[in-house]
Structures are given as structure tokens and as C-alpha cells.
A and B are shown apart, each in its own frame.
Chain A
């Protein structure tokens, strides 16, 4: 794998300015993300996932100000010194509630909106809109209203709008918390496709551990603004007791394997199954 750093976060601490003196939302964060990684951000609400994501395109500290210490380099560019508009060409953002992002009458306009703000020519926009819709499986819906789409379709439209700006990195904040199971599957498989086929770097905050285990190449776990675990899913999910302490859920098959090991029924030497197929293989013979 090409190990080219695309994001480098160094000693980052950020505190929102509120009326009351508050604690830093993220503190002493050091993180290097390489091109083509699919990184899942985990942690309880309030652990700093969203704040960290907003630092990746410079919205923090350029639009949301506060006490900002440290540096974030995206493709070598310091996000503090680069206009947010400029960063949008590299980093696409998708939020948890797609309906909040929709503002236009037609799907095509929704996709074009971000490009307009980048000053991309009309001809170029016309070329990119169908391409972006095609990528997320919404080809041909240009003239529909965004509000007539299902939750999963709306979320994919939000992704298409981000993709039309042709970013190298797409950042998603709990992109499936408002869609049904089919919609979830749609969103995750689009993200996976972009990651695999286009080598796009995906950074996704998500609570659904079973899905994270199936798709992510790396997991970063945050607690009280700090990174506490940062490794492959296999390695991160082997820290079962750490997860219990943080009150985070593990994939059910991992929890199951851990419990059986604790009761002396099985032995995994710390390498617990994390997906259904791994579990099926691991338990064949054992549970018959």
C-alpha cells in the first residue's frame, strides 16, 4: 500500500469559546492518515469526533473560532492558513442529517451548489453532475426534488454534492443515523466503493460497530477529546476491557468470543473474531 500521508495532525488542542470557560473539546491530538485509508472514528457523544472532523477542512478555526493550538496539514497545506473554500476542493463533508444540507429545488442544483461556490465553469458543472450522481447510484434523478427522495437517497445525494467537488478526502459524521437499514447499506457501500475504486480517503464517525468492523481499515477511538486507541479493527477490538470501561459497544461476535474465553470455553489469544464470517469460521466445531 502507498503510505503517503494525506492528513497530519500535530499536537492539536481546541477549545470552543462559550460564555463559561470550558474544557478543550479535543486535546493533544496527534494523528497521521494515509491516502486511501478508511478510518472510523468512534467514541461516546461529546468525545470530540465532530470537532476533530471540523478541523480537517479548516471550518475550525477559520469559521468556528476558539482557542486553537497545534497544526493540521492536509496534503501539506496548513488548514489554518488556507481559505475554507480552497480546502473544500480537497475535503468533502457529509453530515448526519442530509435534510439539513438540502436547499435546492432539484437534485442537479443540489449537486452543483458546492461547485458554484468554488467558481467552477458551467460546462464543467454540467459534466460533473451526472458523474457524481452515477457514482452514488442516483443517475437519472437530476430533475427530482431532493425532498422526494428516501432518507438513504438523500444521504447519497449529500455525498454526491461533496463528490462533485472532486475531493481526495471525504469526511462523514454519522452518515446513517437517520436512514433505514437499506439506506445504511447503500451509504456504506458507496463509501466503500469510493475508497476501493478511487482510492479516496474516507473518515467516518460512526456508532455501529458491526459495520465499522466490516468496512474500516483503521479505527480511532476518542475519549474526552483524546485519542485512546488507534489501530486496525482487529487490534482495536481486542481491547475488550478498555471498551467496557469506556462504555462502548463491541461487535456482538467479539463480545461473545470474549465471554466464552473468560469462561474457559474457548481460547483466542487476544485475536477475537470481529465479523460474522470470521465468527462462523472460529466457532465451527466449537459450538456443534
Chain B
């Protein structure tokens, strides 16, 4: 088996003042996996992912990146391994133009000028930022500013991307851009960890769901299995996508996870297939 890109062992985090944010978390994430981390506000999700790039250090326990203990590494050293895209781009962006914003990360990592320009071109094209290159990030609307936040991490080519609520405040068009980005990152070999409440993202885009409640991981599995677990969902105040909920209500065999559908297309195809029999 391949070395996990991230491994968390008996991780505990206690904030100054004694608030226990994480208790004994164990997790292995494989290269090129797309992970959804869900849970209510205050469940520990953000605390957990901030350990992946050393923004937080464990109170006890270990975090390994590609088999190496991250404890001795600085945030700067981890930045080229794990990129963190903030929910609010205002916490992340600081340059005077979008172009500078895109160049900053790779230049800081010592990437060659030629390579920086290539990466910027690719990012501009993919995120559709052609007309914004010379604009100040704060002079463009929130949804696009958020895409700039993602693009500026994308140019650093980290092995792991952490996306904190990537689709909030986005409309359907920019949401689809984010979904496409996630798949593209995976196709390019990166691991993507989404902290999100967007149930369509969690049902249709991610490979695996990690559910946190009260500082503990209470479930870790395929979206289909997690969404089938009613007790788990309601105790964590999570609502499956409407189409999944419909399939849960309509299914004839209450134990068959094969009758649970995560997207409209999946459900339509299943109905068509059963009609053809």
C-alpha cells in the first residue's frame, strides 16, 4: 500500500484556556483522494485541518506528511506541501494586483521566473481571470475574489489542497468551476480536503467523508454509507441532498445502500435501467 500523504495519530488539541478542540483523532489520507470534512460549527473541523499545514501544532499526537513527522517543520516549509485556501479570501489576499497575487507563492518557493509565468497562465485560463490580472483583488466581487484565492494557491502546486468552504457565496456557475477545479487537482495527482457544508459537493464530488462531532471523528467512509446512516446524520444535524433524501424515503429495501442515490443523474439512470428489465 502507498504511503499515506497525510497521517494523523492520536491527535489531541487543547486551546489555551483549556478548551478541548480535538480528542484522539486518527486518520489516513491517500494521495489523490478527495476528502470531505463535515460537522457543525465548533465540532473541530477547522482545528483538525489546521494541523495539516502546521498552522496549529498538536497538544499531543503526531501528524505525518508523506511519512515524515511534521513536528520539526515550520509553516513556511509546510506551505509547499499543503496549501490552505481560506473561506474568506480577505484573510489570504494582500497583493496589489491579481497577477502579483498569483506570482507571490511560487516566487517565495524559489520557482524559476519562466515556470512562474507558465503557472500563472494556466491558472488565469482555468479560473477565467483573463480580464482581472491587473485589478486589485479587493476591487473585484467576492465570488471571483474567492477564485483568486484558490488560483494563488494553485500556482504553488502543493501536494495537498485544503479548501475551507470553497462554494459559500458562489452561484451555480462559479460553484461548478470549483467542482471542476477539485477534479482537475485530483487528476493532476493532488489530494483535496474540503471542509464544507455544501451537501451537493459532499455527495457528488468527494470520495470519502469524515464526520466530526464534539471534537471526535464519529464517521469515516463513503458518502453513500454516511448518508445512509440516519441516526448519525440527525445527531450531527446534517441534512443529505434533497435527491438523496428522496431515494432514502423511496427505497424498498431499507438495508440496501445500492438504493441510495447521490445525484439526480444517478437516480434517473437507475430508474431507466430498472424500467428496461
Contact = CB atoms under 8 A, between A and B. Distances in A.
Interface of A: 43-46, 96, 150-152, 174, 177-183, 207, 210, 247-249, 251-253, 255-256, 259-260, 263, 265, 276, 279-280, 283, 287-288
Nearest to A255: B264
Interface of A is mostly: loop
Contacts of A150: 41-42
A276 B41 contact: no
Given A182-B40, A207-B172, A45 B197 contact: no
B114 interface: no
A265 B141 contact: no
Contact of A182 (B170, B237, B243, B268): B237
A252 B169 contact: no
Nearest to A174: B169
B277 interface: no
A44 B172 contact: yes
B180 to A, nearest CB: 14
Contacts of B40: 180-182
B243 A253 contact: yes
Interface of B: 40-42, 141, 143, 168-174, 176, 197, 199, 237-239, 241-243, 245-246, 249-250, 252, 264-265, 267-268, 271-272, 275
A45 B268 contact: no
Given A45-B141, A288-B252, A276 B246 contact: yes
Contacts of B246: 252-253, 256, 276, 279-280, 283
Contacts, number: 82
B169 A260 contact: no
Contact of B249 (A96, A183, A280): A280
B242 A210 contact: yes
Q: Which of A45, A177, A248, A263 has the most C-beta atoms of chain B within 10 angstroms of its own C-beta?
A: A45
- Which 7 pairs between the two chains have the least Cβ-Cβ distance? A252-B243, A252-B242, A259-B268, A45-B171, A44-B171, A180-B41, A177-B169
B238 A253 contact: no
Given A210-B242, A265-B272, A249 B169 contact: no
A41 to B, nearest CB: 12
Contacts of B275: 265
6 contacts: A45-B141, A182-B237, A210-B242, A252-B241, A252-B264, A276-B245
B255 to A, nearest CB: 17
B172 A287 contact: no
A249 B172 contact: yes
Nearest to B244: A252
A276 B242 contact: yes
B219 to A, nearest CB: 16
Given A151-B41, A265-B271, A178 B252 contact: no
Given A253-B242, A279-B246, A280-B250, A260 B271 contact: yes
A44 B173 contact: yes
Nearest to B270: A287
Contacts of A263: 268, 272
B268 A181 contact: no
Given A180-B197, A181-B239, A182-B40, A248 B272 contact: no
Given A178-B168, A280-B250, A46 B141 contact: yes
Contact of A247 (B141, B143, B170, B172): B172
B174 A181 contact: no
A182 B245 CA distance: 17
A260 B170 CA distance: 29
A259 B264 contact: yes
Contacts of A178: 168-169
A151 B238 CA distance: 16
Nearest to A176: B168
Q: Which of B174, B238, B267 has the most C-beta atoms of chain A within 10 angstroms of its own C-beta?
A: B267
